[in-house]
Amino acid sequence: MIAVTERTWPPFGHPALVIHVAAILLAGSQWLLCRSGQRSRATVDLIDAGGLIGSMALYCALVFAESIAREHAIAVHSAGAEILLVAVILLALILTHAIIVPATVPRALALSLACGALGTLTAYVLTAEVFPSEVLLGKPWLPLAEATYLAMWSGLGVTVAMIAARVIHGLKQRVWDANKVGQYTLEDRIGEGGMGIVYLARHALLRRATAVKLLHPGRAGETALRRFEQEARITSTLTHPSTIAIFDFGRTPEGVFYYAMEYLDGVTLADLIAHDGAQKPARVVQILRQVCGSLDEAHSAALIHRDIKPANLMLCVRGLIPDQVKVLDFGLVKAGGEHVGTGLSAEGALLGTPAYLAPEAILDSAGVDATVDLYALGAVGYELLVGQPVFEGNTIVEVSLHHLQSEPVPPSLRSSQPIPLALEQLVLRCLAKDPAQRPASAGEMMASLDQLVEVGSWTIDDARSWWRDRAPSIRREVLDRRRGESTPGPRTVAIDLDRRH
């Protein structure tokens, strides 16, 4: 408090008092906005940034208003005390914000630099406008010197804020990792997709390796929750050997949705292509055939996957049999007859992955049928044969326009290996712009694959040799790449049976 006497307390119309009240009201409005109903992560981040930068701007204005007032002229002219006050306010705001509000290091850096820039600008303008002209004539470098003084304090504040953000954000992530989700011990993070984070886990009693998927902490809106629960519920009804098996699902006491599924110690087709490039036609046929089996069961149940892509298809060894394919991630699945709204997700993105989207899925995802999965599977087959996607572009729009307007170059013209004509024609048929020209069903496509005779050979011995010679190095490289995302364990978790569906 400044004082309570009439002589020292500024009148109610004083600019400094008005600005100070405005800063308090700004903080109060932030609190009310965050307390009144649910807000998206982006909205909360915007409110937070506006409050911090707005408060710094108001307090800089307050210092400026006080410095030009007659009662403060002597202090400013003699020692520049108000500039020191700006430095104190700057440090107090950015350090308090970094400690109280968890943020990523890039976000903390951006907000701290914005506040530091306001403080530095205030010091320069304050010196240039308030200090006596005779002082500035003798020391023309004074405004720049004062601004540099503030910039040095800003650098200190930014550095400390980044360190605090890194420590606090890391602790927040560890707390999140320790959430209780079933009778499982989470050991390592093994993957992250658009909907959730996947951990390697072990059941407390069965001791078997399990993969536990948790809804992404930054995407906990109702739409995401419904999709996440739908993914677990629908996938659990499918029993084809090439569809990943769901063991359990539910919600934790804190309301975090999760499900447990079989752990697959394998290689995704995305990693396979990235490390080994184009595959032999015979192996491609075997892979596509297994995926067709999984999709045939899903389509027979009026379920459309809508996100078939190399990253959602895993190659593994099951029951000592190599090159077994598993279809993953039914998070965008659409039940036949179900209304799914527009072609946009809650975050405003196309449903699916642009490199594998059928033209009709780009134009109107609400009206798609099972042939969109066959289009995507054709794109996967093309990439397996060539080692490159069907269409490439610098933006999502460019790739989407290719799917809508461009005819794919035949794989044989882009591949260094011979590709049987019948296989090439089948892949291009899947990539037809008109859904009616594609295979009528996954079962029909599987039958067409069975009829291919000039594709060469890929025997079980070939597959075992690959898994012995190539798979370990690929998996090691993939694990090394993801190691930075892993979190230390183990952590034991529990289930809330009353909240299971």
- Which active-site residues does the annotation give? 307
CA distances from 144 to 85, 136, 138 (A): 17, 11, 14
Tell me the C-alpha distance between 352 and 332, whole Å. 7
Helix (H) or strand (E) holding 251: strand 246-251
Tell me the C-alpha distance between 388 and 381, whole Å. 10
- Look up residue 182 and give its two tokens: 């079933």
CA distances from 203 to 187, 200, 207 (A): 11, 10, 5
345 φ, ψ (degrees, to nearest 5)? -80, 180
Handedness of CA 475, 480, 483, 489 (dihedral sign): positive
Q: Which residues of 121-144 are buried (b: 16+ CB within 10 A; e: fewer)?
A: ebbbebbeebbeeeebeeeeebbe
Tell me the C-alpha distance between 292 and 378, whole Å. 11
CA distances from 201 to 140, 177, 304, 458, 497 (A): 67, 12, 29, 34, 19
Q: Which residues contact 141 (CB under 8 A, 6 or more apart)?
A: none
CA distances from 328 to 223, 311, 353 (A): 20, 9, 14
Helix (H) or strand (E) holding 185: strand 184-192
DSSP string, 32-91: HHHHSS---HHHHHHHHHHHHHHHHHHHHHHHHHHHHSGGGHHHHHHH-HHHHHHHHHHH
